Chains A and B, each alone.
Chain A
Amino acid sequence: MEDVRSYVGAPGGRGVAEDARLLSAYTITATVWLLITTAAGLLVSFKYSYADLLQAPWLSFGRLRAIHTNGTFYGWASVALVGCALYVAARSSGVSIARPRLAWAALWSFNLAVLIGTLTLDAGWSNGSQEYREWIWPAAALFLLAVALSGIVVVSTVAARVGPDIYVANWYTIGGFVFTFILGVTAAIPSYQRGLGQVAVQAFYMHNAVGMWFTFLALGVTYYALPKLLNRPIYSYALGVLGFWTNLVFYPVIGAHHYEFSPLPWWFQTLAIVFSVGMLVPVWAGSGNFALTLRGRWSAVRRSYALPFLVVGIVYYFVGSTQGTVEAFRSLQAIWHLTNFTVGHSHATMYGFVTFIAWGGIYALLPRATAKEPPPLWVGIHFWLAAVGVTVYVVLLSVAGTEQGLTWANGDPFIASVEAAAPYWLGRAVSGTMMFLAHVVFAYNVYRMTLAPAPALVPRPAGGRAA
């Protein structure tokens, strides 16, 4: 086995420059997918109000929806957070990213997977409309290969660390890679996925893809970036470790709450609801830990452009995940299940939490890596468009979902639920437009942090006001 310690580089040395190139490349490709797949999502949102808009097979609702969900999950959030995870592993271990060639290979594999998955979905080739695993198997296999390769890089980097302790951020990211590889293999084998059996596996998969991958990677970045930007240690390591183990044990059991009142065994659904309540432990441990780390340092949030993103992410982690627990109760699922309330919830968590943490991580790490700062005004515009956009989005769809569920419970004709939700859908398209504009601004900021020419003078240390 290659000695990974040979990658240890002095600060500013060749290894650190390569780290910056890797972080830049991961961020740039993730941003391209963010633009493409949220453009798809935006078009889909307008089709709710203008159903005959842009009629073509490859622009149809059923194909673009899958492109939007898979693309934002695997092209944007995964690639962005893996880029941060690699960089965090190196910085928190006092070394450079180990096995950089594997890290580059993983990046190619990620992007090839998203490209194949997106194009084949657009051609109508779906792996059975199973949410978040619609890609045909070659795309899924390439994604899993990328997870394995980048996971090896993170583990090798942490193994080469200078100090004796594995920083808690790396617990989360290493966990995320290990779980997701096992999850991906479990979800790919077809022999136990016939009829209702596939419903059970789908319940397991769809929630674990969120909770054992994105949650772990996002928490990993937060455990590094938040104390770094505040220049103070995390409030409690013990809470971080408690969150790690309880998330690991509780999360895999809750998937069946996506199929409440279905023919899945009743006790299986009940078990999922009970463990959904258990999820309050890791969620409150994690968000409480972050809040206590922030306590008394709100002035730093005002002066930083990266911290506000992390704060929004932490708030949505708390709100969105607690909402998930409450939403799992049967009395509320009877009204909210199958409505747009679920879509509001998924954007509170995948956007309000995961995407804001990814942005916070990128704004915290990338300017330090490349010594190129984004223009603070444009970061502010990005922040407010995205934060207001997603909040309006979540509120509107939560109200729309409640109205849908109430018209059903009221025994109205079905079309009444469509008519009741219609005004909120139009509002959602407007808030979605704000979110998409935020992504365009973010793409410009990424350009300024990476490909744009370096400033002529060397004014001040990288990181600047965020430090």
Chain B
Amino acid sequence: MNRPGMNDVRVLVASAAGIYLCLALAMGVFPGRVLSATPPGPGVVPLGEAAARGRDLYVGEGCSYCHTQQVRPLQQDRIWGRPSTRGDYAYATPQLLGTERTGPDLSNVGARQPSAVWHLIHLYQPRALVHASIMPAYPWLYDVKDRAEPGDVTVAVPAGYAPAGKVVVASRGAQDLVAYLQELKQAPLPAPAP
């Protein structure tokens, strides 16, 4: 190869860095800047205090590795809600769109499954409600006590899944997580102009 310039290591480093820097700005930083400024869609509001804490727990426990939060404009995604729009994610940082759907999409789970009772049992032991589920159980988000104290949120775990003779009480973490799941609702899109 007769290319004396590229045989200077400084030229190699500088040209590789220069080209890649341009591409990183064009394909990473620029789209990031533009899309970060996306205004919230109609009816899209920030999470409440408990739900925001629940979302932090959702992030730390890696829930988004199995649960997407994006409804695609495809026939098979209609069961999860309407197709997601850009304005849906204005308050969703860190983003949790996900790349795998081992479990159901949760974009609209608050509307599909609004019951706190269901979620509290399901997080304690998913197989108590969905036999074939492979979702991890989160028993450490609960206290198991001999009897409930005033103010405790007890969980009616079905027989066979509950510790015998004890009561299962939801910790604040479990309640926060359920608050988050209940607030995961798609805002209805305004009807198109006639």
8 A Cβ contacts from B11-50 to A: 12-13, 16-17, 19-21, 23-24, 27-29, 31-38
A349 nearest CB across to chain B (Å): 15
Contacts from B to A (Cβ < 8 Å): 1, 6-7, 9, 12-13, 16-17, 19-21, 23-24, 27-29, 31-38, 59-66, 68, 70, 72-76, 79, 84-86, 88-102, 104, 126-127, 130, 132-140
Q: Are B94 and A264 in contact (CB under 8 A)?
A: no
Complex: chain A residue closest to B19, CB-CB: A248
A212 close to B (CB within 8 Å): yes
Q: Which of A358-366, A411-419, A452-460 is near enough to bind chain B?
A: A411-419
Whether the Cβ atoms of B68 and A51 lie closer than 8 Å is no
For the complex, what is the distance from the CA of A261 to the CA of B75, rounded to whole Å?
A: 12
Are the C-beta atoms of A199 and B89 separated by less than 8 Å? yes
Chain B residues with CB below 8 A from A404, complex form: 101
Interface SS of chain A: helix
Does A441 belong to the interface (CB within 8 Å)? Answer: no
Residues in A whose Cβ lies below 8 Å from that of B72: 261-262, 337
A171-216 contacts to B (CB < 8 Å): 171, 174-175, 178-179, 182-183, 186-187, 191-202, 204-205, 208, 212
CB distance from B46 to the nearest CB of A (A): 11
Q: Which of B36, B65, B137, B138 contacts A196 (CB 8 A)?
A: B36
A48 at the interface (CB under 8 A from B): yes
Shortest distance between the CB of A249 and any CB in chain B (Å): 7
A198 & B136 in contact (Cβ 8 Å cutoff): no
Instruction: State the interface size on chain A (CB cutoff 8 A).
Output: 86
Least distance between B68 CB and chain A CB atoms (Å) = 6
Min CB–CB distance A337 → chain B (angstroms): 8
**B20 contacts A248, C-beta separation under 8 Å:** yes
Q: What are the interface flags for A33-57 relative to B under an 8 Å C-beta threshold, 1 for contact and 0 otherwise?
A: 0000000000000011101100111
Across the interface, do B95 and A202 meet the contact criterion of CB distance under 8 Å?
yes
Known: A195-B92, A343-B100. A201 touches B136 (CB 8 A): no
- CB contacts (< 8 Å) of A166 on chain B: these are 6-7, 9, 12
Q: Is the CB of B94 within 8 A of A128?
A: yes
Contacts of B132 in A (CB 8 A): 415, 418-419, 422
B22 — nearest CB in chain A belongs to which residue? A252
Residues from chain B with Cβ under 8 Å of A431 in the complex: none
**CB <8 Å contact, A338 and B33:** no
When the two chains form their complex, are residues B24 and A183 in contact, meaning their CB atoms are under 8 A apart? yes
Tell me if B94 and A130 are in contact (CB < 8 A).
Answer: yes
Distance A107 CA – B135 CA, assembled complex (angstroms): 38
From the candidates A51, A155, A191, A419, name the one contacting B135 in the complex (CB within 8 A).
Answer: A51
- CA distance in complex: A413, B19 (Å): 48
Residues of the A chain whose Cβ atoms lie less than 8 Å from the Cβ of B93: 128, 193-195, 198
Residues in B with CB closer than 8 Å to A198 are 32, 36, 93-95
Chain A-chain B contacts (Cβ-Cβ < 8 Å), number = 225
Question: In the bound complex, do residue A57 and residue B97 qualify as a contact, i.e. CB atoms below 8 Å apart?
Answer: no
Q: Which of A7-52 contact B (CB under 8 A)?
A: 47-49, 51-52
CA distance A291 to B82 in the complex (A): 49
Check if A125 is an interface residue, CB within 8 A of chain B. Answer: yes
Given contacts A248-B23, A249-B19, A340-B100, 6 further A-B contacts (CB under 8 A): A174-B13, A187-B28, A193-B93, A195-B36, A342-B100, A408-B76
Q: In the complex the two chains form, is A263's CB within 8 Å of B61's CB?
A: no
Tell me whether A195 and B9 are in contact in the complex, defined as CB-CB below 8 angstroms, given that A52-B137, A264-B35 are known contacts: no
Complex Cα distance, B68 from A60, in Å, reads 19
Kindly state whether residue A73 has any CB partner on chain B within 8 Å. Answer: no
Cβ contacts A250-264/B at 8 Å (1 or 0 each): 001101001101111
A196 CA / B86 CA spacing, docked (Å): 7
A165 lies within 8 A of B7 (CB): yes
Closest to A183 in B: B24
Is B12 a contact partner of A47 (Cβ separation < 8 A)?
no
Q: A55 to chain B: which residues have CB within 8 Å?
A: 136-137, 139-140
CB distance from A99 to the nearest CB of B (A): 14
A62: Cβ under 8 A from any B Cβ = yes
Other-chain residue from B9, B65, B126, B140 in contact with A56 (beta carbon distance below 8 A): B140
Separation of A212 and B137 alpha carbons in the complex (Å): 38
List, in ascending order, chain A residues with CB within 8 A of B95's CB: 128, 130, 195-196, 198-199, 202
Ordered by A's residue number, 13 sampled pairs between the chains whose C-beta atoms are within 8 Å are A51-B126, A51-B127, A51-B135, A52-B127, A126-B59, A171-B12, A174-B12, A182-B21, A193-B93, A197-B38, A200-B31, A252-B20, A342-B100
A309 interfacial contact with B, CB 8 Å: no
A-side contacts of B27, CB under 8 Å: 204, 252-253, 255
Chain B residues contacting A199 (CB-CB under 8 Å) are 35, 89, 95, 97
Is A241 an interface residue, CB under 8 A from the partner?
Answer: yes
A60 adjacent to B61 (CB under 8 Å): yes
A29 CB to nearest B CB, Å: 26
Known contacts: A194-B93, A195-B90, A195-B92. The answer to whether A179 contacts B61 by CB under 8 A is no
List B contacts of A204 (CB < 8 A). 24, 27-28, 31-32
> How many angstroms from the CA of A174 to the CA of B101 in the assembled complex?
37
Which of A208, A212, A338 has the most chain B CB atoms inside 10 A of its CB?
A338
Chain A residue with the shortest CB-CB distance to B89: A195
Closest CB in chain B relative to A117 CB, distance in Å? 14
Which residues of A have CB within 8 Å of B9?
155, 158-159, 166, 174
Chain B residues with CB under 8 Å of A129's CB are 59, 62-65, 94, 96
Evaluate contact between B62 and A126: CB separation under 8 angstroms: yes
What is the bound-complex CA distance between A334 and B72, given in angstroms?
Answer: 9
Contact B86 A182, beta carbon cutoff 8 Å: no
Q: Which chain A residues lie closer than 8 Å to B136 at the CB level? A: 47, 51, 55, 60-62
- Give complex CA distance A410, B96 in Å: 26
Cβ B20 vs Cβ A197 within 8 A: no
Cα A66 to Cα B60 in complex, Å, equals: 10
A357-B142 Cα distance, complex, nearest whole Å: 46
Q: How far is the CA of A159 from the CA of B13 in the complex (A)?
A: 11
Please name all residues of chain A whose beta carbon is closer than 8 Å to the beta carbon of B17 when the two chains form the complex: 178, 182
Nearest Cβ on chain A to B19's Cβ, whole angstroms:
6
